[in-house]
Amino acid sequence: RKEVEQDPGPFNVPEGATVAFNCTYSNSASQSFFWYRQDCRKEPKLLMSVYSSGNEDGRFTAQLNRASQYISLLIRDSKLSDSATYLCVVRGLDMRFGAGTRLTVKP
Amino acid sequence: SAVISQKPSRDICQRGTSLTIQCQVDSQVTMMFWYRQQPGQSLTLIATANQGSEATYESGFVIDKFPISRPNLTFSTLTVSNMSPEDSSIYLCSVEDRVQGATNYGYTFGSGTRLTVV
């Protein structure tokens, strides 16, 4: 079993749609959680941290359920510029990356 | 957040040769990390480079194939030795970085080196 598993996608949605990504992790001792965004042929960049209380940054909402070892990312009112691969990242002793979920937002 | 300059950005190399990738950070960092990302795959940690000591390699990666240097707190190199087509991948360096407005630490990445071995 992979340490971090994500919806493989791809997700193809129209502009303005709401889309949700899920991620599960296997290491119950994990301490920090993140969503990264990776554009085609670019390096991953931090999108947001994920906290147990849930956190929001504009159109993006992240949730963490430690009991279920589950992380989610919700994107509201999708924009064309949201098209990218979204990586779920979990930190225990080191950082572990999911394989990513590819999102394409279409006009 | 930290700014990392990584080069080369891409290269096409002959099998059997070696390529050295450099990463320069604009601040002093204790650890630097080297990752590989194969097409459609997640990032895989190759090794952790510590200043003043030998790098720590992950399972499946060995020093003879991926020698690492860490001469100071702002610089590191990764060499991909005796390359074969299976080494074609994106190689990324990264450093631990405080998340803006938060108390936890994420990673900031260099722009990556896209390596093709022919």
pLDDT single digits (tens) B93-102: 999 887 766 6
pLDDT of residue B12: 97
Give the pair of three-digit tokens for residue B55.
């790098």
Distance from the A93 Cα atom to the nearest Cα atom in chain B, whole angstroms: 12
Residue B109 in contact with partner chain A when CB distance is under 8 A:
yes
- Cβ-Cβ contacts under 8 Å, A94 against chain B: 33, 45, 48
Band of residue A9 on the pLDDT scale cut at 50, 70, 90: confident
The predicted pLDDT at position B106 comes to 85
Measure in Å the smallest separation between the Cα of B73 and chain A Cα atoms. 19
pLDDT tens sequence across B19-72: 999 999 999 999 999 999 998 888 999 999 988 888 999 999 999 999 999 999
How many beta-carbon pairs below 8 A join chains A and B? 49
The A residues from 35 to 94 touching B (CB cutoff 8 Å) are 36, 41-46, 49, 87, 89, 91, 94
Q: Shortest CA distance to B99 belongs to which of A81, A85, A62, A104?
A: A62
Chain A CB within 8 Å of residue B3 CB: no
Per-residue pLDDT, B99: 73
- Give me the pLDDT at residue A12, please: 96
Q: Determine whether the interchain pair B106/A44 forms a contact, defined as Cβ–Cβ distance below 8 Å.
A: no
User: How large is the C-alpha radius of gyration of chain B?
Assistant: 14
How far is Cα of residue A18 from the mean position of the Cα atoms in its chain? 14
pLDDT at residue number A39: 94
